[in-house]
Amino acid sequence: MKFFPSNYLGDTRGLSPSAKGIWMDLICYLWQSPTRGKMTAKISDYSRLLGASEKEVLLAMEELSRGGMEGGTCQIFKNSHGDVTVISRRISREEKQREDARLRKQREREKENVTQPSPESHGEKIEDRRKKIEDRKEIKAKSLFSLSQNQKEELAELCSKVSLKFPDKFNPWQWLKRNIDKHPLTHLHVMKQMLSEDRILDPWPYANKIALVEDGNYNERDSQTKSSQYKADFLGMAENLKKIQGEK
């Protein structure tokens, strides 16, 4: 969430210090709300969230709703059931702009991927399937040799799930082929992260960014392990030489 101090100071110029503090906390909860910028709850729930008494919350909301905010930044409504809805017009507007931009980019990508129908389209689909199978065989032959059988099966299952999660946007097998030089455990970590994260707008850069960080971490651990092993071997050899010289 971007925060602009000058806008906040201008919007809250007519509020009391107490109302300003409650509004600042409300901004944070409005940002985390499932419907970003809008939140509906009872006064008792607001009281628990904000750490203030119900009387303080009511006074602050009355101050906010009667025009204490410049430019109508805050809107507060109360329904017949006693629930109170708080809306930040600024957060709602920015969220709509983000969503519109996301949909616009998605439409642009779909246009780029659309091809004119032709008699060869069915044959091209078969060829794509064959290529995916070849990619999988090549990956198993080259980059997965150091994984255990369970890890290989886990990676195959993760790739299938990622492929279903991002249809037409991200081909995990193709990504593995392009990143065949990465540490095998990096492949596992990337696929797990792709499944656990919900807000991924562009999967390819996201996967590459994770791989860049994690590959360095795994390689550094391997290097430290090898260094420790070399040191232990060297000390063992030195100890054996001492024993041989002592016997002579």
Is a pLDDT exceeding 70 seen at residue 225? no
Q: What is the mean pLDDT of residues 68-95?
A: 78
CA distance 161 to 172: 9
What is the band of 123 on the pLDDT scale with cuts at 50, 70, 90?
A: low
User: Predicted confidence band at 39 (pLDDT cuts at 50, 70, 90)?
Assistant: confident
Q: How far apart are CA 73 and CA 213, in angstroms?
A: 41
> Helix H segments across the chain?
5-11, 17-32, 43-50, 54-63, 89-113, 121-142, 149-165, 172-178, 184-196, 203-247
pLDDT confidence of residue 146? 63
**Within-domain flag for 115:** no
- Tally of structural domains, the chain: 2
User: Over pLDDT 70: what percentage of the chain?
Assistant: 72
Over residues 208-212, mean pLDDT = 83
Is the same domain home to 24 and 75?
yes
Q: For position 44, which CATH number holds? A: 1.10.10.10
In this structure, the answer to whether residues 139 and 238 fall within a common structural domain is: yes
Query: Which of 92, 110, 136 finishes a domain?
Result: 92
Identify whether 151 is part of a domain: yes
- Any domain includes 78: yes
What is this structure's pTM? Answer: 0.41
Q: How confident is the model at residue 177 (pLDDT cuts 50, 70, 90)?
A: confident
Rounded to whole angstroms, the Cα distance separating 159 from 139 reads: 12
Co-location of 165 and 234 in the same domain: yes
Structure token digits, residue 71:
């430019």
Least confident residue range of 91-105, 109-123, 182-196, 206-220: 109-123
Instruction: Give domain status of residue 109, yes or no.
Output: no
* Confidence (pLDDT) at 16: 85
67 and 130 belong to one structural domain: no
Number of CB atoms found within 10 A of residue 107's CB: 10
Pair 193, 165: CB distance under 8 Å: no
Q: Do 130 and 69 belong together in one domain?
A: no
Q: How far apart are CA 180 and CA 194, in angstroms?
A: 18
Does some domain include residue 171? Answer: yes
Q: Tell me if 235 is assigned to some domain.
A: yes
Q: Does 79 lie in the same domain as 131? A: no
Which pLDDT score is estimated for 163? Answer: 86
In this predicted structure, what is the pLDDT of residue 180?
76
117 domain residue, yes or no:
no
Query: Are 37 and 92 spatial neighbours (Cβ–Cβ below 8 Å)?
Result: yes
Lowest-pLDDT range, 2-6, 50-54, 135-139?
135-139
Mean pLDDT of the chain, nearest integer: 77
pLDDT at 220: 63
Say yes or no: 140 and 76 in one domain: no
Q: Is residue 113 part of a domain?
A: no
pLDDT score recorded for residue 137: 55
Domain that holds residue 60: 5-92
**pLDDT (0 to 100) of residue 233:** 62
For residues 139 and 205, membership in a common domain is answered with yes
Residues 166 and 231 in one domain: yes
